[in-house]
Amino acid sequence: MQNITILGATGSIGQSTLDVVRRNSDRYSVFALTANRQVDLIVEQCREFSPLYAVMADSESAKALSAILRREGLPTEALSGVDGLRLVSAHDDVDMVMAAIVGAAGLLPTLAAVEAGKRILLANKESLVMAGALFMDAVQRHGAELLPIDSEHNAIYQCLPVNYGAEQESSGVRRILLTASGGPFRTTELDALQAVTPEQACAHPNWPMGRKISVDSATMMNKGLEAIEACWLFGLQPDDVEVVIHPQSIIHSMVDYVDGSVLAQMGNPDMRTPIAYGMAWPGRIDSGVDPLDLVKMGRLDFEAPDYKRFPCLQLAFDAVSSGGTAMAILNAANEVAVDAFLNHRIGFCHIAELNREVLEVLEACPADDLQTVLDADRSARQQAQALITQGKYGWEAR
């Protein structure tokens, strides 16, 4: 039996992970579940999976959860805050940790799991974007097993040689083809983009996901963050990563080799495939995903990305080329911008404008230690908030 901690259990990835556990309950047992504030949903999950611990972000939610758990006589203990998250990530009895908290909040608990040498199922791309060098170094030093869950990176992982070890040249890898659906606004009139609503931005054509990553997919910042993620995971330079729009989301990404071979991983767009892959690696288990029907699909299309339509994509490539804290700055500015957009405080196109301005105002420096990264994250958030408060990017200024 393998014990799993699920960070961000109430989210889209968290719930898909629990579904894979449910289908393979003879192999996996839930050690701990965590959530931000969704007490009702985590109670439901505790009833079904009887974890040892459930961790809420704040003590008030943990108190509310604890009262319900006791009233119902459930065996789960409620904890709170980063200390609680660290405990359930690094506990001796834990075999693998699903890192599926959204945003920078995922960094410290994920690092705790890395430092405890666990198998990390990495969905939380933001932690790698913020602190890639430190993160990958910690993986090496602590002998953690890092399995990418982001569907593109999972696909690339599956298409790389078994003992790849980030040695691009000797393994004959020419480049990575990172596929992107293009999101809900791939063909929207450019003039109409600024007026799109959060609801339209969150209506992804192929993947049901949390609201933050849905907006990132609509701006294609998600693909930018993924390009950065790919550079860290697979030891690549930005020029080695080519983004290809593939609206059907059937090919999840490809590896192009020097002999002209291109290996692709395909499947229906359902995150339970990469999740099950990460959990069972190097084996395979049932994920509940329908078999791919290529004849029914009929066709697969490809096109080049339009950087004018999706300026966030260029910002991400620029940030990875700048290096150091530039990526943490971009990530933090983007989290604030997306939140402001979701709360009707700024318009859709302001997300890229705000990100660009924060990157211009703040100077990047080498990201040599965690404190430097956390400081860059904080400064970028403050700067982005200040620019929003000044009203320059107001929703009404559309």
Binding site for ligand NAD (CB under 6 A): 8-14, 35-36, 38, 57, 100-102, 105, 123-126, 150, 207, 209-210, 212-213, 271
CA 218/CA 77 separation, integer angstroms: 39
Query: CB under 8 Å to 121, separation ≥6 — which residues?
Result: 17, 96, 97, 98, 99, 100, 147, 149, 275, 278, 279
Between 3 and 334, name the residue whose CB sits nearer to ligand NAD.
334
> Which one of ligand NAD, Mg ion, none is in contact with 126 (Cβ closer than 5 to 8 A by kind)?
ligand NAD
The C-alpha angle 276, 17, 3, rounded to 5 degrees, equals: 85
- CB of 187 vs Mg ion, minimal distance in Å: 21
Closest residue to Mg ion: CB criterion: 150
Do 168 and 181 meet the contact criterion of CB atoms below 8 Å apart? no
Query: CA-CA distances (angstroms) from residue 62 to 38, 90, 271, 289, 385?
Result: 10, 20, 29, 34, 29
Residue 51 vs 210, nearer CB to Mg ion? 210
Task: Tell me which of ligand NAD, Mg ion, none is bound by residue 252, counting a contact when its beta carbon lies within the kind-specific cut-off of 5 to 8 angstroms.
Answer: none
Q: Which is nearer to ligand NAD, 10 or 181 (CB)?
A: 10
Q: Which of 150, 216, 229, 256 binds Mg ion (CB under 5 A)?
A: 150
CA 20 to CA 41: how far, in whole Å? 18
Residue closer to ligand NAD (CB basis): 335 or 357: 335
Give yes or no for a contact between 11 and 124, defined as CB atoms under 8 angstroms apart. Answer: no
- For Mg ion, give the closer residue by CB, 150 or 357: 150
Using the minimum distance from each CB to ligand NAD, give the nearer residue, 20 or 393: 20
Q: How far is the CB of 306 from ligand NAD (least distance, A)?
A: 23
Closest CA to 105 of 136, 91, 84, 90: 84
Q: Which is nearer to ligand NAD, 46 or 123 (CB)?
A: 123
Nearer to ligand NAD, 35 or 168 (CB): 35
Shortest gap between Cβ of 151 and Mg ion (angstroms)? 5
- Find the shortest distance in angstroms from Cβ 246 to Mg ion: 12
Pairing of strands 173-180, 96-99: unpaired
Q: How far is the CB of 391 from ligand NAD (least distance, A)?
A: 27
| Partner whose footprint covers residue 102, from Mg ion, ligand NAD, none (CB < 5 to 8 Å by kind) | ligand NAD
The answer to whether 52 touches 4, Cβ cutoff 8 Å, is no
Of the candidate spans 20-28, 142-150, 330-338, 387-395, the one that interacts with Mg ion by CB under 5 A turns out to be: 142-150
**What is the closest distance, in whole angstroms, from the C-beta atom of residue 107 to ligand NAD in the complex?**
11
Contact 273, 289 (CB under 8 A): yes
User: Other CB atoms closer than 10 Å to residue 197's CB: what's the count?
Assistant: 13
Tell the burial category of 1 from Cβ atoms under 10 Å away from its Cβ (0-12, 13-18, 19+): exposed
Query: Which C-beta is closer to ligand NAD: that of 38 or that of 253?
Result: 38
Which residue in 224, 53, 228 sits closest to 148, CA to CA? 228
Contact of residue 330 among Mg ion, ligand NAD, none (CB under 5-8 Å per partner type): none
Give which of ligand NAD, Mg ion, none residue 210 binds (C-beta under 5 to 8 Å, depending on kind): ligand NAD
Question: Is residue 134 a contact partner of residue 125, using CB atoms and an 8 Å limit?
Answer: no
State which residue has the least CB distance to ligand NAD: 11
Task: Please report how close the Cβ of residue 174 comes to ligand NAD at its closest, in angstroms.
Answer: 25
Least separation in angstroms between CB 379 and ligand NAD: 19
CB of 102 vs ligand NAD, minimal distance in Å: 4
Q: Which does 125 bind (CB under 5 to 8 A by kind): ligand NAD, Mg ion, none?
A: ligand NAD
Residues near Mg ion (CB under 5 A) are 150-152
